[in-house]
């Protein structure tokens, strides 16, 4: 039997297979070089990048919850110029597609980031983060108001020729409203979900565990929310979706594809099992073989009724 | 080169009410290990807890291909680890972290461990003995039962003094008092320490007063262990507006110069 076709075309963003690593969970890729055959990954969404370097939040930045974790890193990163000068040259020779996740406090900053990131060779797409719950300015606010979300997407799409992925926040009443707004504003792809806003309290000290008080919940605990939102958004817009949120193995990944995602991104699972992305690529292929499909595209949205 | 690998558990023995000694067969990793490094351990079979636990390498034996971990049961992860039986496999990543810097060793060395903080220091002491250094070990614990490895240390050619908070063994009080006494009495140019933050802060003040090089092994809540998630950062002094930058305990540490870190309690 022929091997099924795992290639994916997301509005012009070509991938060898539908498996990405999610931003903030895989560094710049190199960190996992010893565990993973990086060339086999479809794409790497690198750590959230800002115009200026950011120190991030004080510690503790992480807390465990039932089948999940909370983080409040606060976008610690070396800044876009450092990324372009020092990091990109080291990762651009890998076969994976490099997606730069960008975060900003103002529309103008998003615009400047888009301009800067569109010049160098080796960036395949921009992921616009309008949904970080861990920064004071901008952050989540951009992702919860359809007009503001659209404003950011317009500013980015006007200043780049790269495919634009908009990463949506699940911390909204109606996810389809935001999805439609970013579609109209010119986004090429949608990725969802970012973390859910959560909190954990140390009952002995009687105070919040995270120095930032609240953080973003990720891991298998949030998976049903992600599946539901992908299912809804897939029916509300015509854009391809990259689904993420608590995918731990290939069966979870297939669930996201069936819900309407054309590709998936693996986040927190990398911490638990650094080899997980390789297992997921193999597992998706096995699933397609077992069920007699010729390509991964055939199962996208198949569970929608 | 770090790996993710399944090692066979050879023993997982309870030492006192909260501490365990886990022996793993890991011939594939043991040649790479340096004292002060750690393994990132998948403690239980399920997804709760989701994250691995960083556990320092306590001892290693290259001839036998074995690595020993010494750990204290604190929460869900270590509770599950305590239940893992000999003969079964354990999923670990490692070796991780920088380890102690032994490139410029002095001849007289002080090693200070507080509580379970002694865990990464045993492999160091064994290495220093192998290198024929004159080593004094100062060990602190809350009470006698929690003093770790005294029998093993007594068999090595090292000096050993202990302190317990309740006075049930050795000198009553904190181990830092022993450190002060030892430094007043004798000249040490190099110190290695691991223990609770207040102990490390006390050690740090000695850097200023005595002008001694102290390497400390720090502990932080950790996510990935590979330097990707930026959860386990510590403050390191630099000349910028804030006076510090964050460095990763997992890959830049866990061992830092005491003079360079800012320890918040």
- From first to last of the 305 residues of chain A, give the pLDDT tens digit: 689 999 999 999 999 999 999 999 999 999 999 999 999 999 999 999 999 999 999 999 999 999 999 999 999 999 999 999 999 999 999 999 999 999 998 999 999 999 999 999 999 999 999 876 555 555 567 888 899 999 999 999 999 999 999 999 999 999 999 999 999 999 999 999 999 999 999 999 999 999 999 999 999 999 999 999 999 999 999 999 999 999 999 999 999 999 999 999 999 999 999 999 999 999 999 999 999 999 999 999 999 98
- Residue B127 to residue B99: CA distance in whole angstroms: 12
Mean pLDDT, range B95-115, rounded to an integer: 95
> Which of B47, B93, B235 to mutate to probe the A interface, most A CBs <10 Å?
B47
pLDDT of the residue at B1:
85
In DSSP terms, A198 is beta-bridged to A215
pLDDT of the residue at B264:
79
Q: Crossing angle of helices A175-184/A223-236, nearest 10°?
A: 50
The reply to whether A72 touches chain B by the CB within 8 Å rule is no
pLDDT of the residue at B265:
64
- Residue B9 to residue B26: CA distance in whole angstroms: 9
And the tokens for A69? 């974790």
Q: Whole-model pTM?
A: 0.94
pLDDT of the residue at A45:
98
The reply to whether B193 touches chain A by the CB within 8 Å rule is no
Q: How confident is the model at residue B6 (pLDDT cuts 50, 70, 90)?
A: very high
pLDDT of the residue at A142:
82
Digit-coded pLDDT (tens) for A130-171:
876 555 555 567 888 899 999 999 999 999 999 999 999 999
| Residues B137 and B117: beta-carbon distance below 8 Å | no
And the tokens for B158? 């090292």
Question: Per the CB < 8 Å rule, is B231 touching A61?
Answer: yes
| Residues A281 and A19: beta-carbon distance below 8 Å | yes
Strands B108-114, B190-194: pairing is: parallel
Digit-coded pLDDT (tens) for B47-58:
999 999 999 999
The reply to whether B1 touches chain A by the CB within 8 Å rule is yes
Q: By CA distance, what is B230's nearest residue in A?
A: A73
CA distance A204 to chain B (A): 13
- Residue B204 to residue B112: CA distance in whole angstroms: 12
| Residues A97 and B257: beta-carbon distance below 8 Å | no
- Please determine, for residue B219, whether its predicted confidence score (pLDDT) is greater than 80: yes
DSSP H/E element including A148: helix A146-157
Mean pLDDT, range B43-48, rounded to an integer: 92
Helices (H) and strands (E) in chain B, counts: 6, 16
pLDDT of the residue at A1:
62
pLDDT of the residue at A136:
55
CA distance A102 to chain B (A): 16
Q: How confident is the model at residue B247 (pLDDT cuts 50, 70, 90)?
A: very high
Within B28-123, strands assigned E span 38-41, 53-61, 66-72, 89-96, 108-114
Strands B134-141, B108-114: pairing is: parallel
- Residue B103 to residue B120: CA distance in whole angstroms: 18
Candidates B232, B236, B255; CA nearest to A271 is B232
Q: Is B57 helix (H, G, I), strand (E, B) or coil?
A: strand
Q: How many residues does chain A have?
A: 305
- Residue A169 to residue A140: CA distance in whole angstroms: 7
Give how far Cα B75 sits from Cα of A27, A54, B71, B103, Å. Answer: 28, 32, 11, 36
What is the ipTM, given to two decimal places?
Answer: 0.93
Give how far Cα A157 sits from Cα of A11, A100, A217, B6, B206, Å. Answer: 14, 14, 29, 47, 57
pLDDT of the residue at B10:
98
Strands B213-217, B190-194: pairing is: parallel
Q: Nearest 10 degrees: CA dihedral of A222, A285, A45, A268?
A: 30
- Please determine, for residue B205, whether its predicted confidence score (pLDDT) is greater than 90: no
- Residue B8 to residue B89: CA distance in whole angstroms: 4
The reply to whether B225 touches chain A by the CB within 8 Å rule is yes
Digit-coded pLDDT (tens) for A198-236:
999 999 999 999 999 999 999 999 999 999 999 999 999
And the tokens for B172? 């009553």
CA distance B260 to chain A (A): 17
User: Which alpha helices (DSSP H) does chain B contain, by range?
Assistant: 27-30, 76-82, 121-130, 150-155, 175-185, 197-210
| Residues B25 and B8: beta-carbon distance below 8 Å | yes
Digit-coded pLDDT (tens) for B30-42:
999 999 999 999 9
> Which of A59, A103, A246 to mutate to probe the B interface, most B CBs <10 Å?
A59
- Which residues of chain B are within 8 Å of residue A27 when distances are taken between CB atoms? 226-229
And the tokens for A101? 């996740």
Candidates A82, A61, A133; CA nearest to B249 is A61
Q: A199: burial class by Cβ within 10 Å (0-12, 13-18, 19+)?
A: middle
- Residue B84 to residue B90: CA distance in whole angstroms: 8
Q: How confident is the model at residue B212 (pLDDT cuts 50, 70, 90)?
A: confident
Cα dihedral sign, A138-A143-A149-A154: positive
The fraction of chain B above a pLDDT of 70, given in percent, is 99
């Amino acid at each position: 039997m022929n091997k099924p076709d795992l290639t994916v075309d997301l509005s012009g963003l070509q991938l060898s297979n539908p498996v990405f690593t999610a931003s903030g969970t895989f560094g710049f890729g190199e960190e996992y070089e010893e565990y993973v055959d990086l060339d086999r990954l479809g794409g790497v969404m690198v750590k959230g990048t800002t115009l200026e370097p950011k120190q991030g939040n004080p510690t503790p930045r992480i807390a465990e919850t039932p089948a999940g974790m909370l983080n409040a890193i606060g976008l610690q990163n070396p800044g876009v110029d450092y990324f372009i000068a020092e990091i990109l040259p080291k990762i651009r020779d890998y076969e994976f597609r490099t997606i730069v996740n960008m975060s900003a406090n103002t529309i103008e900053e998003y615009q400047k980031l888009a301009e800067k990131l569109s010049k160098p060779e080796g960036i395949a797409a921009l992921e616009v983060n309008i949904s970080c719950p861990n920064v004071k300015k901008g952050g989540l606010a951009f992702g919860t108001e359809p007009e503001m979300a659209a404003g950011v997407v317009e500013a980015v799409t006007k200043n780049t020729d790269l495919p634009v992925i908009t990463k949506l926040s699940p911390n909204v009443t109606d996810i389809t409203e935001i999805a439609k707004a970013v579609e109209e504003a010119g986004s090429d792809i949608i990725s969802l979900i970012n973390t859910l806003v959560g909190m954990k309290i140390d009952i002995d000290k009687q105070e919040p565990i995270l120095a930032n008080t609240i953080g973003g919940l990720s891991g298998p605990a949030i998976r049903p929310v992600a599946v539901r939102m992908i299912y809804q958004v897939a029916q509300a817009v015509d854009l391809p979706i990259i689904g993420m949120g608590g995918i731990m193995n290939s069966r979870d990944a297939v669930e996201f594809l069936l819900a309407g995602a054309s590709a998936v991104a693996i986040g927190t699972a990398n911490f638990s099992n650094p080899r997980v992305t390789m297992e997921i690529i193999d597992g998706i292929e096995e699933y397609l073989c077992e069920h007699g499909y010729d390509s991964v595209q055939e199962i996208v949205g198949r569970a929608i009724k | 080169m770090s790996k993710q690998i399944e090692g066979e558990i050879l023993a997982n023995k309870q030492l006192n009410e909260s501490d365990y000694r886990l022996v793993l067969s890991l011939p594939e990793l043991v040649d790479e290990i340096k004292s002060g490094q750690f393994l990132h351990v998948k403690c239980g079979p399920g997804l709760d807890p989701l994250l691995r636990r960083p556990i320092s390498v306590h001892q290693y034996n290259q001839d036998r291909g074995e690595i020993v971990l010494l750990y204290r049961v604190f929460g869900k992860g270590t509770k599950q680890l305590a239940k893992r039986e000999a003969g079964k496999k354990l999923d670990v990543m490692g070796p991780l972290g920088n380890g102690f810097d032994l490139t410029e060793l002095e001849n007289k060395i002080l090693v200070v461990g507080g509580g379970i903080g002694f865990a990464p220091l045993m492999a160091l002491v064994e290495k220093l003995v192998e290198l024929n250094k004159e080593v004094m070990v100062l060990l602190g614990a809350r009470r006698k039962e929690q003093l770790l490895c005294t029998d093993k240390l007594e068999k090595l050619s090292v000096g050993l003094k202990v302190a317990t908070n309740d006075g049930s063994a050795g000198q009553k009080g904190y181990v830092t008092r022993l450190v002060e006494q030892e430094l007043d009495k004798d000249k040490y140019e190099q110190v290695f320490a691991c223990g609770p933050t207040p102990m490390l802060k006390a050690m740090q003040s000695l850097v200023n007063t005595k002008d001694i090089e102290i390497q400390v092994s720090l502990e932080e809540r950790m996510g990935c262990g590979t330097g990707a998630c930026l959860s386990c950062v510590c403050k390191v002094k630099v000349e910028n507006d804030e006076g510090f930058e964050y460095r990763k305990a997992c890959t830049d540490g866990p061992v830092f110069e005491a003079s360079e870190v800012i320890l918040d309690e």
